[in-house]
Amino acid sequence: MELFSQIIVNGILLGGLYGLMALGMGLVWGVLNIVNLAHGALIMFGAYALYYLFSGLGLDPFVGLPLAMLILFCFGYLLQRGLLNLIVRSALLNTLLITFGLDAVFAHVAQLAFSADFRTINPTYAGNNFQFFGLTIPLARLAAFGVALLLAVLLWLFLGHTRTGRAIRATAQNLTAARLYGVNPRAMYALTFGIGAALAGAAGGLYGIVSQFTPYIGASLTAKSFVIAILGGLDKPLGVIGGGLVLGVAEALTALYLGPTYTDVISFGLLVLILVSRPASVFERA
């Protein structure tokens, strides 16, 4: 029973991070109508950004995380204004092809720039843990979980209780009405993609603290983010975190009963089931 409880706790902590990974994809998908297949590459860039802030400048990872998010925000904002703005509201196939191509380019560029070696962000407290009712709680994973929840709440508050957030929601819900009320869709699209990239950067940085990463982690993380965004709802940040918790616990139980090599079967299996059972509803915004 104690082992089972420990596995559930580990799954919940991992699921919070998964939810943060999916927040950016769900936001961009819901507002820009772009299924961003390069989302995992943005997560990967976030991991490398925080890695070099930690190893090069000596910043504590949780202190450097806002700076890594700012770097990814600027990158995402410029990427949307310079390239992806050309395909906003375009046919679904066009967005899939462009973002798939970007993912391949980003992975190749990252390999050339950073090499294919496994990296990890390893502060002095990375291996620390504490006991709670007989359960071992890794400090770094708990901190990552807390940051994920905090960012989800902040995003929910931003979208629902600020003028800019309401403008973003209006752009997603009714573009014509938003224009009539003076909203600039191009500015909202770029801002939204920048926020999505910043969230991906935060997820990547936290992922680098709790796991190893390479330039090729993107494809798997994109698939997980896709599944979680569908489970949680594109316009529900807290629901996306809930979807991440479901996937995290499912993967933890799979590792316990089937072995760690089968954990990716869960996310990819859910992806296949969703695409087979609800293809129209998945892409109905396209």
For 46-79, what is the HEC assignment? HHHHHHHHHHHHCCCHHHHHHHHHHHHHHHHHHH
**What's the whole-model pTM score?**
0.91
Residue 113: pLDDT band with limits 50, 70, 90: very high
Evaluate the CA torsion angle 196, 200, 205, 206 in order and state its sign.
positive
Residue 286: pLDDT band with limits 50, 70, 90: very low
Is residue 135's pLDDT more than 70?
yes
Q: For 237-266, how does the pLDDT look when each residue is reduced to its tens digit (9 = 90+)?
A: 888 888 899 889 988 888 888 877 778 777
- CATH 1.10.3470 holds for 2-282: yes
Is residue 4's pLDDT more than 90?
no
Tell me the C-alpha distance between 240 and 152, whole Å.
Answer: 9
Which range has the worst mean pLDDT, 90-99, 212-221, 235-244, 269-278?
Answer: 269-278
Tell me the C-alpha distance between 252 and 239, whole Å.
Answer: 20
Q: Tokens 């969230």 map to which residue?
A: 199
12 token code pair: 């919940």
CB atoms within 10 A of CB 217: 22
75 bridge partner residues: none
pLDDT the model gives residue 273: 76
Of residues 198 and 277, the one with the higher pLDDT is 198
Q: For 68-111, how does the pLDDT look when each residue is reduced to its tens digit (9 = 90+)?
A: 999 999 999 999 999 988 887 777 788 889 999 999 999 999 99
pLDDT the model gives residue 278: 59
Q: Who contacts 219 (Cβ-Cβ below 8 Å, separation ≥6)?
A: 40, 103
Residue 43: pLDDT band with limits 50, 70, 90: very high
* Domain range annotation of the chain: 2-282
pLDDT the model gives residue 1: 65
Q: For 140-188, how does the pLDDT look when each residue is reduced to its tens digit (9 = 90+)?
A: 899 999 999 999 999 999 998 999 999 998 888 887 787 877 888 889 9
- For the segment 25-43, the average pLDDT, to the nearest whole number, is 92
Evaluate the CA torsion angle 70, 76, 81, 85 in order and state its sign.
negative
Tell me the C-alpha distance between 15 and 137, whole Å.
Answer: 14
pLDDT the model gives residue 66: 97
With CA atoms as reference, report the closest residue to 203 among 34, 14, 21. Answer: 21
Using N-to-C axis directions, what is the helix angle for 237-257 and 139-161, rounded to 10°?
150
Of residues 235 and 93, the one with the higher pLDDT is 93
Q: Tokens 């980003």 map to which residue?
A: 106
Is residue 37's pLDDT more than 70?
yes
* Average confidence score pLDDT of the chain: 88
Angle of CA points 229, 233, 238, to nearest 5°: 90
CB atoms within 10 A of CB 49: 23
Alpha helices in the chain (DSSP H): 2-32, 39-57, 61-82, 92-114, 139-161, 163-173, 175-180, 185-210, 218-232, 237-257, 263-277, 279-282
Give yes or no for a contact between 64 and 53, defined as CB atoms under 8 angstroms apart: yes
Tell me the C-alpha distance between 17 and 228, whole Å.
Answer: 11
Is residue 55's pLDDT more than 70?
yes
Using N-to-C axis directions, what is the helix angle for 92-114 and 39-57, rounded to 10°?
30
